[in-house]
Structure 1
């Protein structure tokens, strides 16, 4: 894409891509806050297993509500990815320019609260 193509994305495609960015950010933040294991699992001390993090505490597992939330967000990400990738706009872009156009769409639709080039910051739980 060139600067002359600026603003050539349909508004609905830009909005879909922004929603996809936000869904990915929500997913990353949620996973960072959840216990390390989906199911309850005993932790281990460094040296018992190959752990680059040191001691790993016991994991209480995820609650049913947490599992449902993760499933819902993953489903939303899948639906949005299909909607973005299958948007009729892509048929108007020459095949050899689609990858560049797709990358440009990602840059242009990144939410203002997410730094360019970096995934959304994940806050420590």
Structure 2
């Protein structure tokens, strides 16, 4: 019988501990797309009138020391803008559903990541490298 020590190439590779923050690329890409869509929606909301439908608005009211701000009349949104907004929102819902139900989260649970640790991993995805449109380094470089 041979009791020779196996060479390093033959030795079993040590398993790396599971890292719940080692997100798959497709998951990071989806989170990035969700952030981009959210930004597009916010930009559309800032540009469009406050009411999607035409609305007459209302006057400011001061009643017994309480004030309620008024709203100017709104012409409503043009049909093309409403359709574009609806498309953005539908895509955002689809992408966020993909992120929330991705198999990575099951893999995390299967590896013992649960409760607050799973929540922390989900939160970390929102700022993970490649999962956000702009990182702090991007801003420094652009400045």
| 1:101 alignment partner in structure 2 | 121
Q: CA deviation at 1:24?
A: 0.6
Instruction: Note closer, same or farther for the CA distance 1:38–1:48 as it changes in structure 2 (3 Å cut).
Output: farther
| 2:9 alignment partner in structure 1 | none
| 1:68 alignment partner in structure 2 | 83
| 2:85 maps to 1:85 | no
CA RMSD in angstroms, aligned pairs only? 2.4
| 2:65 maps to 1:51 | no
| TM-score, normalised by the number of residues in structure 2 | 0.67
Q: CA deviation at 1:82?
A: 0.8
Distance 2:33 2:62 in 1: 43
| 2:31 maps to 1:12 | no
| 1:110 alignment partner in structure 2 | 132
Q: CA deviation at 1:68?
A: 0.7
Q: Choose between structure 1 and 2 for higher RCO, CA contacts under 8 A separated by at least 6 residues.
A: 1
| TM-score, normalised by the number of residues in structure 1 | 0.76
Aligned residues: 109
Unpaired runs of 5+ in structure 1?
Answer: 115-125
Unpaired runs of 5+ in structure 2?
Answer: 1-17, 137-143
Distance 1:76 1:98 in 2: 26
The 4+ residue runs of structure 1 with deviation greater than 6 A are: none
Structure with bigger strand share is 2
